[in-house]
Structure 1
């Protein structure tokens, strides 16, 4: 399965972190080919094979992977021994400090976020679409990690994976009004009568408000809609598509 390691996390030897692409799996059209989501209509056997391919390539047991039933919320779950591959929790963020327990966030335009605290050896995986971002899922996850693991903004590393950017994410006036009401004016772009939103700008503004050092933040500058030849895109693929993923685990 074709993956890449975010450069911000690559220097750390005791953590594995990757974002997947849509290539290197066994799923058929329109999920070609490395779809990792069971809920999108793909053949479950193909999805399971894709998970096995990813697990083998990264060197973990597939049964230990924890993924989510993502609901565009601000709900955070602390992943522990009670969580299993077959019983994914309903949430949009996972955190843990347990070794050899991979966390996965899936996406097809929303921003997949991987978090690593090298000092306290804790990790997180966050699903941040428009709703989650506007409900502060990322700052709330960092706050929970601070409460449980002692994570500080000076130590945490945050990598935002491929997602739809402001060039392609057209929104309606009601959503734009909500964005403006919350003070994220810089995230909006107007092109004639059309309105566009850049969710990553919202996320970066939230991190700036927390004083997270700029060197501790990475944004993968690839738009999933522009590059739907490489990534799954809910919009560009007309809603019938698979899911890429971000995966992180402590060694």
Structure 2
């Protein structure tokens, strides 16, 4: 399975981190080929085969992987021994300090975010679409890591994965007004009579306000490059999911 490795996290020998692409799996069209989501209509056996291939590639036990039933919320779950691959919690962020417990966030235009605290040895995986970003899922996850593990924001390394860019994410006036009301006018772009939103601009503004500097953004728009990544917009909603994954060794 083909993956993209964030350079920011490559310097740490005690973690593994990657973002998948849509290449190198067994799923058939329109999920071609490395779909990792069970809820999109793909064959269960193919999704499991893709998970097994990813687990083998990155060197972990699939059954120990924790993924989410993502609901575009600001709910954060602290991963413990009660969770496993077959019991994904309903939330949009996972945090843990447990070793050999991979965390996964899935996406198809939304931003998958990986967080690493090298001082307190803790990790997080966050799903941030427009709703999650406007509801501050990322700052809330950072606060939860502080409250749970003692993580200091200045120590965190944060990677924003492949996502739809402001070049392609067209929105309506109602959403634009919500963004303006919350102080994110600079994330908007008007072109002729169309409105576009760059969710990553919101996320980066939030990180800047927190004083976080160790940030990497995977600069690939999933809609522009939907031959390489799944895109809910470009693929007309019927598509698979890529994933961000992070593991404490």
Which TM-score band applies after superposition, normalised by the shorter structure? over 0.9
Partner of 1:96: 96
Partner of 1:242: 240
Partner of 2:228: 230
Residue 50 (structure 1) shift? 0.2
Partner of 1:156: 156
What's the secondary structure of 1:145's corresponding residue? helix
Residue 244 (structure 1) shift? 0.1
Between the aligned partners of 1:248 and 1:30, the Cα distance in structure 2 is: 27
**Counterpart check, 1:190 vs 2:190:** yes
Residue 154 (structure 1) shift? 1.4
How do residues 79-158 of structure 1 correspond to structure 2 at under 5 angstroms? 79-158=79-158
Q: CA RMSD of the aligned region, Å?
A: 0.4
Residue 150 (structure 1) shift? 1.0
Partner of 2:62: 62
Residue 27 (structure 1) shift? 0.1
**Counterpart check, 1:31 vs 2:31:** yes
What's the secondary structure of 1:154's corresponding residue? helix
Residue 36 (structure 1) shift? 0.0
What's the secondary structure of 2:158's corresponding residue? strand
Structure 2: unaligned runs, 5 residues or longer: none
Residue 4 (structure 1) shift? 1.6
Between the aligned partners of 2:4 and 2:106, the Cα distance in structure 1 is: 15
Between the aligned partners of 1:130 and 1:68, the Cα distance in structure 2 is: 18
What's the secondary structure of 2:9's corresponding residue? coil
Partner of 1:171: 171
Residue 138 (structure 1) shift? 0.1
What's the secondary structure of 1:225's corresponding residue? coil
Residue 92 (structure 1) shift? 0.1
Runs of at least 4 residues of structure 1 off by over 3 A?
none
Between the aligned partners of 2:154 and 2:93, the Cα distance in structure 1 is: 21
CA deviation digits over 1:173-225, x for unaligned, max 9?
Answer: 00000000000011000001100000000000001111112xx0111100000
Structure 1: unaligned runs, 5 residues or longer: none
Between the aligned partners of 1:239 and 1:162, the Cα distance in structure 2 is: 17
Between the aligned partners of 2:79 and 2:4, the Cα distance in structure 1 is: 24
TM-score by length of 2: 1.00
TM-score by length of 1: 0.99
How do residues 193-212 of structure 1 correspond to structure 2 at under 5 angstroms? 193-212=193-212
